[in-house]
Amino acid sequence: MCGIAGIVRWTGQPVHEQEIRGMCDLMVHRGPDDDGIFVTDGVGLGMRRLSIIGLDTGRQPIPNEDRSVWVVFNGEIYNYAELRHDLEARGHVFRTSTDTECLVHLYEDHGEHLVDHLRGMFAFAIWDIRRQQLLLGRDRLGIKPLYYAEHAGELVFASEIKPLLQSGALTRSLDWASVGHLLTFLATPSSRSIVAGINKLEPGRTAVAVAGEPLRISRYWNVRFEPDETSTEDQLVERLRELLDESVATHRVADVPIGAFLSGGVDSSAVVATLVKQQPERVKTFSIGFEESRYDELQYARDVAARVGSEHYDLVVRPDVVRIVEDLTWYLDEPFGDTSAIPTYMVSKLAAEHVKVVLTGDGGDEVFAGYDRYLVEARERTFDQVPKPLRLLAGSVGAALPDGTTGKRFLQHLALDGARRYLDASMLFRAGELRRLLTADAYHEVSRHNFCAGAFACLDDGKDWLSSAQYFDLNAYLPQDVLTKVDRMTMAHSVEARPPLLDHRLVEFAATIPPRLRLRDGTTKYLFKKALRGRLPDHIIDRKKQGFAVPLAKWIREDLWTFAHDVLLSPSAARRGVFNLSYIEHLLQLHNRGRDLDLQLWTILSIELWCRRFMDHPQPSVMQAPSRAAVHAPLAANF
């Protein structure tokens, strides 16, 4: 696990070691154990390493035998032992015991198609000296991040945005399509970032860069929902159990201790129960809770820990919210609207006191149809029986009602069809609200971009409605939100998170489960839950989904009120010209009077704080990370 960075100057101008080192220094949290740099004519590669596999010999960048191919790599290749055996049989010579070295030898044999042989989570860059070619690659589901930018004859890349800003190659300005997407869906798009000119390599893609040619991006993997109507329900259950066991076993590969996050929900509990069964050492599990009972799941986590016999650590927290908000701005790397980043940050801090690697339950809802919104959409599909002219009339009535009027959003929602209705349910600010929220100039910029087009493309693809919704969530919500949050918040504390439920073989199998066995009679994850009977207590399997939420609405009315008010209505926010401050003041007052607008206010706050930290200073050197001592200050825990 590492943070990687690099520069390729096609003009042949030199890349200096201090440039790469400066980029890597901004990611020390991603790799506090080691660093490494390779510089040659017009090219520099660098990394910060968190040592997990091949502790003594895995220093990067790593070359092939004749040093004509070099790699920097972030992630883990779980099948590296098998790959190594095959590569050595074909005559390749290894110098290290790390999984990273497999990449250069696979590249020698398969070129950019090396990704087809990898099982794991990864983002990498390979420089081929002979071909003068850079290959970038990212894992199938988007677990590990990779940003890049092209400017004035050079290409720069890194695991985070901060090193690209440090490189000085770009003028820092907002990407308005990403602003609109963020205010609509809580996160920036899969292919763009909040900074104009900085892009993300999307999941399941490779990119080949050669001088004088456009960057060639290819998609090498995509999940296909093709129901298996020949296998019986029991056969599918048995195959699912086998794949779950195998995936957890592969995700245990490490030369350091492994623990697990345990929320008490079905997904993390399934991973923990499977891990405990396989691992001879007692498994450490980690949970956090809050004083407010509606946000606290600790009792369920403790029940599971007692049932499976894990060494459980948990903590009831009331964090210093203002300080955490400032820290999150640095580590999230982009503005981010999902408030579950806060508990993820806190549980990662707790885990960091005990382990370097945690297994998580991330991906279970997308893969096995676990979200309540699937049940909602199943019910709301009855709206389609209402004649469309009547629904459109209801939508017009709703649009004419004043903001905050009971039923306004429902009437507008009723007017929509299928895919647009499903998407509408997850929107933060709709178009009319964006017009009031943004200044006239900012709204003009945002409205020039159709930032919902990609989402509609995912949903309008001819599959059954549940498969379409899951396909959207796997390709959009999962990488943009869930995996971004987990990567940034665990890496903030130098902890590696591994999601066994996102092993691509397990995902491919889950896509063959017929829709009626994913969502059945009002039960989400029907087949997955059936596979867990006997492994987990029934009350854990059958309890209502809670989610990883925080009492942010209360915090904004109390601890964060003065801070949020001062930041959002500040002179610097007014000068920035993005938000209509009178409308923000209206939202603050509505929230203070009892209407929960915490997600809206948090998202706006994240944008303003990010702009202050990364856009307002002309010199990148003023960007200072939170104190490592503060980040790793010990927490009290119960076990």
Side-chain half-sphere CA neighbours of 2 within 13 A: 33
pLDDT > 70: what percent of the chain? 95
Two tokens at 330?
């640095």
pLDDT at residue 620 greater than cutoff 60 = no
529 pLDDT higher than 60: yes
The pLDDT score that the predictor gives to residue 365 is 97
- Cβ 270 vs Cβ 536: under 8 Å: yes
pLDDT tens digits for range 20-54: 999 999 999 999 988 999 999 999 999 998 888 77
Comparing 7-21, 42-56, 258-272, 529-543, the range with the smallest average pLDDT is 42-56
Question: 120-128 and 133-138: which strand pairing?
Answer: antiparallel
Q: What is the mean pLDDT of residues 403-432?
A: 83
Phi, psi (degrees; rounded to nearest 5) at 314: -145, 170
Rounded to 10°, the helix 321-332/341-352 angle is 90
**Distance between CA 123 and CA 125 in Å, rounded?**
7
Q: What is the pLDDT of residue 473?
A: 95
Residue 462: pLDDT band (50, 70, 90) is: low
DSSP strand E in 465-581: where? 496-498
Residue 174 is predicted with a pLDDT of 96
The dihedrals phi and psi of 378, each to the nearest 5 degrees, come to -60, -40
| Burial annotation 553-583 (CB, 10 A radius, 16+ → b, else e) | bbbbbeebeebbbebbbeeebeebebbbeeb
Q: Give pLDDT, residue 630.
A: 47
Q: How confident is the model at residue 315 (pLDDT cuts 50, 70, 90)?
A: confident
Sheet strands side by side (includes 2-9): 34-40, 43-49, 2-9, 154-158, 147-151, 199-200
Average model confidence (pLDDT) for the chain? 91
Which pLDDT score, from 0 to 100, does residue 1 have? 63
- CA gap 552, 560 in Å, rounded: 9
Class at the top of the CATH hierarchy for domain 233-370+467-542:
alpha beta
The class level of CATH for 2-219 reads: alpha beta
Flag the least confident range among 149-153, 239-243, 318-322, 530-534: 318-322
Alpha carbon distance 36, 621 (integer Å)? 21
pLDDT at 393 over 50: yes
Contact in structure between 261 and 358 (CB atoms under 8 Å): yes
Sort 129 into a burial class: Cβ within 10 Å, 0-12 / 13-18 / 19+.
Answer: middle
| HEC-encoded secondary structure of 564-598 | HHHHHCCHHHHHHCCECHHHHHHHHHHHHCCCCCH
Q: Counting Cβ atoms within 10 Å, is residue 241 exposed (0-12), middle (13-18) or buried (19+)?
A: middle
Residue 566: CB partners within 8 Å, gap ≥ 6? none
Query: For 168-216, how does the pLDDT look when each residue is reduced to its tens digit (9 = 90+)?
Result: 767 889 999 999 999 999 999 999 999 999 999 999 999 999 999 999 9
Nearest to 210 by CA among 42, 454, 37: 42
Q: What is the pLDDT of residue 411?
A: 85
In the set 2, 24, 102, 458, the catalytic residue is 2
Q: Cα dist. 199→146, 202, 462 in Å?
A: 9, 9, 29
Radius of gyration of the CA atoms of the chain, in A? 24
DSSP state of 195: B
Angle of CA points 297, 247, 201, to nearest 5°: 90
What ranges do the domains of the chain cover?
2-219, 233-370+467-542, 372-464, 552-631
Each residue's pLDDT tens digit, 286-305 = 999 887 767 678 889 999 99
102 is catalytic: no
Give the pLDDT confidence score for residue 461 in this predicted structure.
Answer: 59
Question: Which amino acid is located at 357 in the chain?
Answer: V
Closest by CA to 317, choosing from 350, 360, 341, 340, is 350
